Amino acid sequence: VDGDGKRSRPTAAVVARTAQVSRVAVSRAFNPDASIRPEKRAHILRVAQQLNYTPDMAARSMATGRSHLVALIVPDLSSPWEAQEVDAMTAALQDAGFATLVFRTRDDFSFDEKLLTYMKGFNPDSVISYAENVRPGHLARGVTRAVPVYVCYPEADPGTTADGGYLFDRLDVRMRAAFEAAIARMQAAGARRFALLSGKAASLATAARAQLVRSLLAARGLPPPDEIAGDYSYDTAARAVLAYVRAGGRADAIVSANDVGACGAVDALRHGLGLRVPQDVQVLGFDDIRMAHWQSYDLTTLQIDVAERTAALMRLVRRRLDEPAAGPLTETIAARLVVRGTA
Amino acid sequence: VDGDGKRSRPTAAVVARTAQVSRVAVSRAFNPDASIRPEKRAHILRVAQQLNYTPDMAARSMATGRSHLVALIVPDLSSPWEAQEVDAMTAALQDAGFATLVFRTRDDFSFDEKLLTYMKGFNPDSVISYAENVRPGHLARGVTRAVPVYVCYPEADPGTTADGGYLFDRLDVRMRAAFEAAIARMQAAGARRFALLSGKAASLATAARAQLVRSLLAARGLPPPDEIAGDYSYDTAARAVLAYVRAGGRADAIVSANDVGACGAVDALRHGLGLRVPQDVQVLGFDDIRMAHWQSYDLTTLQIDVAERTAALMRLVRRRLDEPAAGPLTETIAARLVVRGTA
DNA sequence: TTGTATGCGTTATCAC
DNA sequence: GTGATAACGCATACAA
């Protein structure tokens, strides 16, 4: 038992003294690119391990200007999609030598000045924002060292392309082809009246998807969709769909802003209203969260491959770090239709 | 557009010069406890805001010995329970002025020396481990500055109480009363043969729960439970339950190590085997994840209140920070039975 | 390849 | 209350 309250970590100086070398040598031993005699490095590393020494990242950050920290800003970490995303990114970042710093926006999606200021203090090497209404300009203005990476849906969200002229990198997610395929399939299966189950009202992503679907429906000569107001949650979706049908809504196809809402819709239709899915009403989700393939739902949905997405984001992070002064970087990935049992 | 590659943040010195004060004054202005004339502080804060200045946490960390970083070690961030937990803790930590550092163990639950070393470098003020086989001793030996907080289930996990004599704090989760209530209820509803659907083999938590359930069943004169090998996942659980029943397994009550597995069991029973839940087979979950109340499952389960748990963890973190040399700290919380439709 | 000197941005100590 | 000075632990430019 180490009962003393000391608990201080050994410094490079201690390692140097123990290994009978200079302080700089220790530093070099831990920097792969530094030139040092291999045997000497090995010796130092051995001593360091014995002493349980680790370079202090804070000190290293001050000296090099790199924190090895990447900040992730998410609206609700507990929702399946965000969870999956943070999980994948954390794994990828860990492999690349970065630690993940997680920040949550408030329930209203706001990421206020205070939080931004606070985050900035940690000097993240990169900031990745999934929070759909944390505008890149807001971020770019605040984060002076790192260049923010912004995940967006440009097909119906032109505002994000030029946001105050601030520099930020982008991951563009194309959804048109996948939505087109999904709607064609639903129409072929007999769908005539569509309804749009939205996410949170403030959400840019939900607006982008809604606008895209509306234009696709119009292009096919289908009537404009009914609007069902959701908020990405299961409960609200279930209640809203129940209310919609009871109020006389007659849609035979529901396009949900996310999978969780789609699950709520399916349950409301089946258990609350005694309707059959997909025979009476088809349901389309978005995200392809893990529960989408659970047998009780077996959700037809749109997927953006996690591996593909994290790889693209990591490319953005790395490229920006290699060339800090580069112009805006962009990666593009596309959603895919995953056909299962609800549409 | 700031096209130059500079992007450097203003320092306290710059603020001091602009505000016509000394560097120390700036530091004091940002430290609530420091003594400084209110008007002067306001002035400095105003100038700082204009200059978009934020204290550098790395530098602050070096000077004060506090990083304002709390590390969370989780096995799989994408599973609903962990996601909910990280979400709640991140929110609580953010409110308390800490940033959340997330680390993932590998798929086999391992948190190797390399990762531990790496984490240590960030000097987290506290380390909270949910990874069930990252033993506290392992952690305490590695993390010299912070005292690890360990979440454990002591009723059937005596090994964790004294782990190498290293100092660590504990959150004890009591499950006996809740399990006792659940089993009594299931027995009253007609259950005679129980089966245990386990989590990952290496998991300490699953072992603790299994042992507890076995002893409770024995105490009631019920036969020892059948063992169904799961791994916390939906797919494995569904497959395992299917195989169990097809091989002649006749349990009329399944106790799952977690909710996700319980959902897999329910689906396998209903859709794969045409059995009724709970009439033919009762199913009990653990965790009370959000999906547990989705109508397709309506899972009876054991809950450990999130708010209560995060509050307890925050108390541990704060107390340890206030008194670094204190002896081992412990908080205790209890699981609760949540009765729904599957048991 | 190696060591010396200096700087990174902040807070703590100590005088005043 | 205020300001000078010395840490904090590391990496780098430079000279050797």
pLDDT computed for residue A162 by the predictor: 59
Most confident of B8-22, B270-284, B323-337: B270-284
Cα A304 from Cα A274, distance rounded (Å): 32
Name the nt closest to A56 by C-alpha to C1': D9
Contacts of A168 (CB under 8 A, 6+ apart): A136, A137, A139, A140, A147, A148, A149, A150, A328
Least Cα distance to A320 among A123, A121, A125, A124 occurs for: A125
Q: Pick from B145, B271, B294: which is nearest to A234 by CB? A: B294
* pLDDT for position B51: 92
State which H helix or E strand residue A171 sits in: strand A169-174
A58 contact residues in B (CB cutoff 8 A)? 57-59, 61-62, 67, 122-123
Q: State whether B83 and A88 contact (CB < 8 Å).
A: no
> Nearest residue to nucleotide C11 when comparing alpha carbons to its C1'?
B63
Q: How many CB pairs under 8 A join A and B?
A: 194
Q: Do residue A144 and residue B297 have CB atoms under 8 angstroms apart?
A: no
The amino acid at A10: P
Of A100, A115, A291, the CB nearest to B101: A100
Nucleotides in chain C with any atom closer than 7 Å to protein CB: 1-5, 7-13
**Å between B260 CA and nearest CA of chain A:** 9
What is the pLDDT tens value at each position of chain A, 343 positions in all?
A: 233 334 578 999 999 999 999 999 999 999 988 889 999 999 999 999 999 999 999 999 999 999 999 999 998 899 999 999 999 999 999 999 999 999 998 776 677 778 888 899 999 999 998 877 677 777 887 777 788 888 888 776 555 555 667 788 999 999 999 999 999 999 999 999 999 999 988 788 888 899 999 999 999 999 999 999 999 999 999 999 999 999 999 999 999 999 999 999 999 999 999 999 999 999 999 999 999 999 999 999 999 999 999 999 999 999 999 888 888 999 999 999 999 999 9
Angle at B156 between CA B151 and CA B159, to 5 degrees: 70
Question: What is the pLDDT, as a whole number, of residue B1?
Answer: 27
Q: Is B107 exposed, middle or buried (0-12, 13-18, 19+ CB in 10 A)?
A: exposed
- C5 nearest neighbour residue (CA to C1'): A24
Beta carbons within 8 Å of A160's beta carbon, 6+ residues apart = A135, A136, A150, A152, A154, A170, A204
Residue B129 sits at φ, ψ, to 5 deg, of: -110, 120
What percentage of chain A exceeds 70 in pLDDT?
Answer: 94
CB neighbour list of residue A64: distance below 8 Å, 6 or more residues apart = none
Residues with CB under 7 A from strand C: A 21-25, 35-37, 40, 59, 62-63; B 8-9, 11-13, 23-24, 26-27, 30-31, 34, 53-56, 59-60, 62-64
Q: Which residues of A touch B107 (CB under 8 A)?
A: none
Q: Which among A87, A129, A85, A80 has a CA at the least distance from the CA of A259?
A: A80
Chain B residues with CB-CB distance to A59 below 8 A: 58, 62
- Min Cα distance A54 → chain B (Å) is 6
b/e burial code for range B243-278 (CB count within 10 A of at least 16 → b): ebbeeebebbbbbbbbbbbbbbbbbbbbebeebebb
Answer whether any strand D atom is within 7 A of the Cβ of A41.
no
Q: Which residue is nearest to nucleotide D7 (CA to C1')?
A: B63
Residue of B nearest to A117 (CA): B54
User: What pTM did the predictor assign?
Assistant: 0.93
The Cβ-side half-sphere exposure at B13, using a 13 Å CA radius, reads 1
Q: A301 CA to chain B: closest CA distance, Å?
A: 18
- DSSP letters, B149-200, are EEEE-GGG-GGGTSSTT---EEEEEE-HHHHHHHHHHHHHTT--SEEEE---
